[in-house]
Structure 1
Amino acid sequence: MFTIIIVVLLATLSFTQQERSIVGEVSVPAPVAEVYNAWTTEDGAKTFFAPDCKIVLKAYGEYEMYFLADAEPGSRGGEGCKVLGFEKNKMLSFTWNAPPSLPDVRKHFTHVTVYFLSVGDSVTKVKLIHDGWGAGDEWDKAFNYFSAAWLKIVLPRLKYRFEHGPVNWDNPPKLN
């Protein structure tokens, strides 16, 4: 009995060490409908997220961001990603993959959920949670990469877009 308890405790410890999420929040000076549309429409995403994209807002519709539009297919960015769910002006969830520089992890998909909360007529609080991470060196690299990407690039650019206008992709702002 004692051996079983130790095994269960070790398994639980091991399991909780693998659980991890990237969590970021930003307050955006815009109404919730405008911020939601920035994430859920191609025209909106091109103003802060990526220079090109494909978004089909339906369950399992495409949610692809192309950061390197001229690269070979499969190496342009968030290709193959799909909408998991959405609730107008409240939530968007989609799959996400690692950059081409991490090919073993890129074959797998993680999950991103973005929540939108109206804080008055002209401020929206955005909360992003990125989970579904595996274990190992390449997974650690992907986790660190996206910790920086979401928290130091994407969310700050979202706020920038509503404070200063759309991102100029020929000269994107340096925000970190």
Structure 2
Amino acid sequence: MVDRDAFANPGSFVGPVVVVRRIASDPEYLFRCFTDEELMSRWLSAPVTIELEVGGAYEILFDETQPPGLQGSEGCQVLTFIPDELLAFTWNAPPSLLEIRNSLTFVILRFTRVADGTIVTLTHAGHGRGKVWDQNREYFIRAWALLFDALESWLEENPTDR
């Protein structure tokens, strides 16, 4: 169960980070890229634990050299999903921002079929106000773009997988 008290006060939220990418692949496959442990581990080159159910784990260990709790998205959970269309999960701040590390935000991925593939829209919301939250938001403006760059590179290098 998601701890509601772990989120910033909704009245204090600032604008979300939004990333939109048009990717030459179908929504079903791209949904799997974010929900299938083995597939996501391959394109992200990181250990992944995904339990695709409400309240299930959604964890990516970006740096296993760090102590437990500081390796990635430990403790994050699936909030909801619609197969091949939508995925929402909780997310935490990077370990460099310990002050808000345990304050959750949320990410919504939408997969929309278009003629030449899929438009994937990532909305990362729930950022609070203040300097450290501004740093968190700026961090994820860069980080989510890099994540999509990695996915698109992997898809180009592995065209038969899709």
TM-score (norm 2): 0.86
Tell me which residue corresponds to 1:71: 66
Q: How many residues align?
A: 150
Tell me which residue corresponds to 1:140: 134
CA radius of gyration, larger in:
1
Q: Would you say 1:58 and 2:53 are equivalent positions? A: yes
Structure with more contact order per residue of length (Cα contacts < 8 Å, sep ≥ 6): 2
The answer on whether the counterparts of 1:26 and 1:159 sit within 8 Å (CA) in structure 2 is no
Tell me which residue corresponds to 1:47: 42
Tell me which residue corresponds to 2:5: none
Instruction: State percent identity of aligned pairs.
Output: 33
Distance in 2 (CA, whole Å) between partners of 1:79 and 1:22 is: 21
Residue range with higher mean Cα deviation, 69-78 or 87-96: 69-78
Alpha carbon RMSD of aligned pairs, Å? 1.9
User: Where does structure 1 differ by over 2 angstroms across 4 or more consecutive aligned residues?
Assistant: 15-19, 47-50
**Structure 1: runs of 5+ lacking an equivalent:** 1-14, 167-176
**Structure 2: runs of 5+ lacking an equivalent:** 1-9
> Following superposition of structure 1 onto structure 2, how do residues 120-135 of structure 1 map, counting pairs within 5 Å?
120=115, 123-135=117-129
- Alignment partner of 2:80 out of 81, 85, 88: 85
- Amino acid of the structure 1 residue aligned with 2:100: V
The answer on whether the counterparts of 2:12 and 2:129 sit within 8 Å (CA) in structure 1 is no
The answer on whether the counterparts of 1:48 and 1:154 sit within 8 Å (CA) in structure 2 is no
- Alignment partner of 1:26 out of 8, 21, 24: 21
The answer on whether the counterparts of 1:49 and 1:65 sit within 8 Å (CA) in structure 2 is no
The one-character-per-residue Cα deviations of 1:82-125 (angstroms, maximum 9, x if unpaired) are 000000000000000011111111110001000001113x6111
The one-character-per-residue Cα deviations of 1:43-93 (angstroms, maximum 9, x if unpaired) are 121133351111000001000010012321111111110000000000000
Q: Would you say 1:113 and 2:108 are equivalent positions? A: yes
The answer on whether the counterparts of 1:27 and 1:159 sit within 8 Å (CA) in structure 2 is no
